C-alpha cells in the first residue's frame, strides 16, 4: 500500500509576513528584536486546510495572523504546538512598531493563533471570547 500524501491534501497556502507588512504598511515600521527573530522564524508560514476554512468563516485576515505571530505572546498549546495571543505588553509593542497606523488594526486583534513551529504551519485561529487562564 502507498501512503504518500496526495497534492490535494498538501498544505496549499503559504503567507509571507514580511511581504504582508511591506504591502500593508509602506512606511518603515520599527520591529522589536523579538519581532525580527520571529519574522525570520515564520517567513514564510503555511496555512493548513482547516485554517483556510476557519479564516474565511471567522473573517480573520492574513495580516492579522502575521501580526499575531510577530508580536503575540507565546504559550504552550499541546505537545508541539504554540499559541500566540496579544496581551497588554504585546499590544504596546505593536503600538510602538506601527505608530499612528495602530488605530487601523487595534480593534481586530482579539483572537489567538495555534502554530506548529517545527513544520511552520498554522493549525487554527479563533476569536478570543474570554481571558486566557494563567
Claim: this prediction has a pTM higher than 0.85: no
Q: Does the pLDDT of residue 3 top 90, yes or no?
A: no
Residue 132 pLDDT class (50, 70, 90 cuts) = low
Q: Which of 6-20, 38-52, 119-133 has the highest mean pLDDT?
A: 38-52
Q: How far is it, in rounded angstroms, from Cα 14 to Cα 122?
A: 10
pLDDT of residue 5: 35
Residue 114 is predicted with a pLDDT of 92
In which element (H, E) is residue 94 found? helix 88-98
Amino acid at each position: 500500500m502507498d501512503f504518500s500524501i496526495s497534492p490535494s491534501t498538501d498544505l496549499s497556502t503559504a503567507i509571507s509576513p514580511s511581504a504582508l507588512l511591506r504591502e500593508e504598511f509602506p512606511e518603515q515600521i520599527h520591529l522589536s528584536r523579538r519581532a525580527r527573530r520571529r519574522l525570520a522564524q515564520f517567513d514564510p508560514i503555511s496555512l493548513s486546510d482547516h485554517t483556510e476554512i476557519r479564516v474565511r468563516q471567522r473573517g480573520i485576515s492574513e495580516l492579522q495572523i502575521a501580526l499575531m505571530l510577530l508580536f503575540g505572546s507565546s504559550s504552550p498549546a499541546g505537545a508541539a504546538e504554540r499559541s500566540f495571543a496579544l496581551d497588554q505588553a504585546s499590544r504596546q509593542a505593536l503600538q510602538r512598531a506601527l505608530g499612528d497606523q495602530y488605530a487601523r488594526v487595534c480593534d481586530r486583534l482579539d483572537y489567538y493563533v495555534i502554530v506548529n513551529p517545527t513544520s511552520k504551519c498554522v493549525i487554527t485561529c479563533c476569536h478570543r471570547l474570554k481571558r486566557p487562564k494563567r
